[in-house]
Structure 1
Amino acid sequence: MEIWLIRHTTPKVEKGICYGQLDLDVNNDFDCEAKAIMEQLPSQKFCSVYTSPLQRCSMLAQKLFYQQTITQEERLKELNFGDWEGMAWNTIDKERLKEWGDNYLLQPPPNGESFSELMHRVDDFYSYLISKSYQRVALVTHSGIMRAFLTRFLHVPASRVFNLELSYGAIVRVKIHSDEYQQVKFIKG
């Protein structure tokens, strides 16, 4: 099985805003960014396409895979930052932010979710994918979801996966040969 992880394009939001599950539109460069992504995808059809229901992902999925059935999948949403959604990072209580940053794996932001909870969502969805025996599947999603998948596939601690560069429009192809062996290739970082 091949899993193609595709990060959404640049969202329409001011720099410095916390926007995990905030449903943001795409910016004015959307068509150019989508075209650059499309040029990196294989010409063969995907068996299935899944997208986060957030519009910055679903719009990209529609643009890239307009000839295919696209399934919106709640488990592919970004980390829920709870009360911090839509706030400027520099306005969040510094002590609470540090407390969360020091233990984001287990501690959620107020009324949000921890990275471990997000990883549980990803593991649940991965089990579902494996049960389908797809040859090639595309997931249009967010950097947090991609990092959770890469934690599994690269066999690195979740704390280290944040060192990976996953810019807007990043593409990562994962070839799964068996439970023990996966091949990860960064197509577009």
Structure 2
Amino acid sequence: MKLILVRHPQPLVAPGVCYGSTDLAVAPEQLERTLAALQLPAGLPIYSSPLRRCAELAARLSADVIHDARLAEMHFGAWEMQPWDAIPRADIDAWAADMVHYRPGGGDNVLHMAERIAAFHDELKGDAIIICHAGTMRLLRARHAGLPPAEMALQAAQTAHQIPYGSTLTL
């Protein structure tokens, strides 16, 4: 099964702000730049996170997009839309000490996200294009390699993401 993962364009949010499941828009010029750079095969089903930064791109690629909430980025609870430097250091340290199970801001933990991503991946029937988020891409890559959710979460938590906005990753 071939999966083409596409990270959404850069959302409209100030630098240094924690955002995960916050439903952010994308600047039109960012959307156009991403569309112009993409070279995707025709005829594959397109799945998308329902968050606007993904859904807007997916809608421009196809009228037949399958939105799946399991593809959404992690929810950071009370940390959502807070500057990273305003989050208490003790809370950041607690998350760093247990990246898999800790619930930042009382939101999701990486294991919960890995479980929903694994369930999505396991239901796929063939090749697909998936418009999603950096965290989702890292977890899908781990699942595609055959890892169970706990190992997916650990690998994703231990790997710094370097996935540019609008980029693709083929599995």
Structure 1 length-normalised TM = 0.80
**Do the aligned partners of 1:79 and 1:118 also contact (CA within 8 Å) in 2?**
yes
Q: CA deviation at 1:159?
A: 4.9
SS in 2 for 1:31: helix
**Do the aligned partners of 1:150 and 1:161 also contact (CA within 8 Å) in 2?**
no
Q: Which amino acid is the alignment partner of residue 50 of structure 1?
A: Y
Number of residue equivalences: 164
Structure 1 portions without partners, runs of 5+: 175-189
User: C-alpha distance in 2, partners of 1:163/1:100?
Assistant: 14
Q: CA deviation at 1:152?
A: 2.5
User: C-alpha distance in 2, partners of 1:160/1:79?
Assistant: 12
**Do the aligned partners of 1:151 and 1:161 also contact (CA within 8 Å) in 2?**
no
Match runs of 1:79-158 below 5 Å: 79-129=74-124, 133-134=125-126, 136-154=127-145, 157-158=154-155
Report % sequence identity.
Answer: 29
User: C-alpha distance in 1, partners of 2:157/2:82?
Assistant: 26
Q: CA deviation at 1:98?
A: 1.3
Q: Which amino acid is the alignment partner of residue 165 of structure 1?
A: Q
User: C-alpha distance in 2, partners of 1:113/1:76?
Assistant: 13
Q: CA deviation at 1:65?
A: 2.3
Structure 2 length-normalised TM = 0.88
2:166 paired residue among 169, 173, 178 = 169
Task: Answer 1 or 2: which has greater helix percent.
Answer: 2
Quickly say closer, same or farther: Cα 1:161–1:95, change in 2 above 3 A: closer
- Runs of 4+ in structure 1 off by over 4 angstroms are 154-157
**Do the aligned partners of 1:18 and 1:87 also contact (CA within 8 Å) in 2?**
yes
User: C-alpha distance in 2, partners of 1:32/1:161?
Assistant: 31
Quickly say closer, same or farther: Cα 1:103–1:161, change in 2 above 3 A: closer
SS in 1 for 2:55: helix
Match runs of 1:35-50 below 5 Å: 35-37=36-38, 40-42=39-41, 44-46=42-44, 48-50=45-47
**Do the aligned partners of 2:17 and 2:83 also contact (CA within 8 Å) in 1?**
yes
